[in-house]
């Protein structure tokens, strides 16, 4: 394992990154606005699982492919962008009754989980983040193999991000909880959350890195 001298700056850096508003935070907030607290929870869980997939890929060395194959990176980025825009359009076109907003059906929760996991997996920036950030805190001279250090640090980082997402769920739920659950309010929330997802998709598509 990395030494305490390495773990302390790692926790500080990881916490800073976790609290910076990014796609995961905005996505979780959008899902909470549209589907309620339970929907937000499934979104955060899906993002968490998607992050674990990236950690496993990075630990196995698969992520290094994207540093040597720009076309693969671009293809994944475009797929992720299109998927986000498609989810945003579907959210805007959704028709939930007012009484269903805070209580997401089981089938809908599963869909939110799957969509969230795919959004995270199809985001190449997450891959690049892990292969650029984690290696700075591993210790080649440690008794544990590098891949195991990669996994341990990645899981710790992923948990920090998930805890922040959970906080976003409660904060967003508290804000929209004071709003009247009318059809008009739901329509506005669907448009805001759907537009946020489409905006994330467009930003992902046009970003240079």
89-135 pLDDT, tens digit per residue, is 876 776 444 333 334 445 567 888 998 898 888 877 777 777 767 77
Q: What pTM was computed for the model?
A: 0.67
Residue 38, Cβ neighbours under 10 Å: how many? 20
pLDDT given for residue 138 in this prediction: 72
Query: C-alpha angle with apex 16: 13 to 20, nearest 5 degrees?
Result: 140
Supply the pLDDT for residue 66: 56
pLDDT, tens digit, 9 for 90 and up, residues 6-50:
677 788 878 877 776 677 888 888 888 877 888 899 999 999 999
Give the alpha-carbon dihedral of 155, 125, 130, 128, to 10 degrees: 160
| Conformation bin of residue 61: beta by default, left when phi > 0, alpha when psi is -120 to 50 | left
What does the pLDDT read at residue 204? 59
**Where does 23-69 have alpha helices with state H?**
23-59, 65-68
The token duo for 1 is 């394992």
pLDDT band at 76 (very low <50, low <70, confident <90, very high): low
The 3-state secondary structure of 100-125, one letter per residue: HCCCCCHHHHHHHHHHHHHHHHCCHH
Token pair of 188 as six digits: 């506005």
Percentage of the chain lying above the pLDDT 90 cut: 11
Model confidence pLDDT, tens digit, residues 135-168? 777 776 777 787 888 888 889 999 999 999 999 9
């Amino acid at each position: 394992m990395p030494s305490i001298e390495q773990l302390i700056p790692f926790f500080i850096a990881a916490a800073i990154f976790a609290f910076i508003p990014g796609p995961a935070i905005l996505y979780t907030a959008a899902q909470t606005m549209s589907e309620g607290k339970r929907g937000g929870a499934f979104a955060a869980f899906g993002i968490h699982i998607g992050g674990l997939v990236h950690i496993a890929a990075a630990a196995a060395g698969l992520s290094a492919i994207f540093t040597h194959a720009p076309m693969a990176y671009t293809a994944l980025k475009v797929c992720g962008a299109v998927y986000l825009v498609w989810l945003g359009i579907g959210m805007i076109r959704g028709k939930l009754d007012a009484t269903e907003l805070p209580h997401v059906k089981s089938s809908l929760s599963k869909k939110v989980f799957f969509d969230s996991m795919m959004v995270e997996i199809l985001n190449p920036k997450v891959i690049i983040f892990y292969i650029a950030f984690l290696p700075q805190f591993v210790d080649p001279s440690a008794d544990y193999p590098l891949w195991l250090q990669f996994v341990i640090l990645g899981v710790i980082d992923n948990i920090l991000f998930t805890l922040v997402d959970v906080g976003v769920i409660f904060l967003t739920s508290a804000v929209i909880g004071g709003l009247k659950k009318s059809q008009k309010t739901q329509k506005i929330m669907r448009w805001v959350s759907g537009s946020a997802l489409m905006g994330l998709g467009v930003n992902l598509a046009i970003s240079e890195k």
